[in-house]
Amino acid sequence: KLSSVPSRPCERASALWGIAVVSTSAAMSTLEETVHGLLRGVGPEVFGPDTRFVCPATVKAPPGFESQWFQMYPDRQVDQVWHNEAMLERTSVIIAFAVPSDEEQRSAVVALGTALGTHPSVSPPVILVPIPNKNAPSPAASSKTMKAGVRALLSARCIDSVIWGMPAGHSLSLNVQATVSHIDNQLFRLQDRLLARSMRAEHLDSIRESMHRTNWHYLRAKC
């Protein structure tokens, strides 16, 4: 009805602003419900006591996850806990829930990865669980923007792996364990390669030094 539409510009602006706030709150409520749904039926113990969970600041921890739940902030508003090397040493993996197509949430993941990058010797792997944007005009558009956001995060090197398909409960924990095992195996292979190359370099240096000494003694004897 015409009588329900505010007549004054300020009233119309206030009404539109109110609608925007409600829409934003509903979107964040949906994100929280989605994340809580992925963790429904399990406790943090199935992931391990050294697992940390991170989410946008507006998403509260599910019951039982409070001690292992942390918040992500965009730009440089990084939680100082990620600069605590003692805590990072006690962390086996960080599971990040975020909507990659959302610029602010993507920025928060980048800020988290940047903070962890300042402590490379103790930084744990970061596994992203991407959440689709339910406000997208279509499922195809949501999938496209989500993949583009994940590619941007991978290019920024702020995450180590991605778990697709939004597995829930024990399925999610098994996916996390498999991903961590894969990352560890890759690390061990890299360490083995590094050790083999280091030993080879030492062997070549030893041969080079022996040749140098032999030539030196030969020249001295000849002179």
pLDDT of residue 211: 79
pLDDT in tens, 85-112: 888 999 999 999 999 999 999 999 998 9
Q: How far apart (Å, rounded) are the C-alpha atoms in residues 198 and 115?
A: 30
Amino acid occupying residue 48: G
pTM of the shown model:
0.70
- The arithmetic mean of pLDDT across residues 76-88, rounded, is 77
Question: CB neighbours (10 Å) of residue 147?
Answer: 15
| C-alpha–C-alpha distance, residues 75 and 87, integer Å | 22
Q: Which two tokens stand for residue 223?
A: 């002179």
pLDDT digits (tens, 9 = 90+) for 196-205: 777 777 777 7
For the chain, the helix, strand and coil percentages under 3-state DSSP, each to the nearest 5: 60, 10, 30
pLDDT digits 0-9 by tens, 121-164: 888 999 999 999 888 888 898 899 999 999 999 998 889 999 99
User: How does DSSP classify residue 92?
Assistant: S
> How would DSSP label each residue in 122-191?
TPPPEEEEE---TTSSSHHHHHHHHHHHHHHHHHTT--SEE--S---THHHHHHHHHHHHHHHHHHHHHH
Structure tokens at 123: 């930084």
- Calculate Rg over the CA atoms of the chain: 26
Query: Is the distance from CB of 156 to CB of 123 less than 8 angstroms?
Result: no
Q: Output the average pLDDT for the chain.
A: 80
> For residues 30-63, b (16+ Cβ closer than 10 Å) or e, as one string?
ebbebbbebbeebebebbeeebbbbbbbebebbe
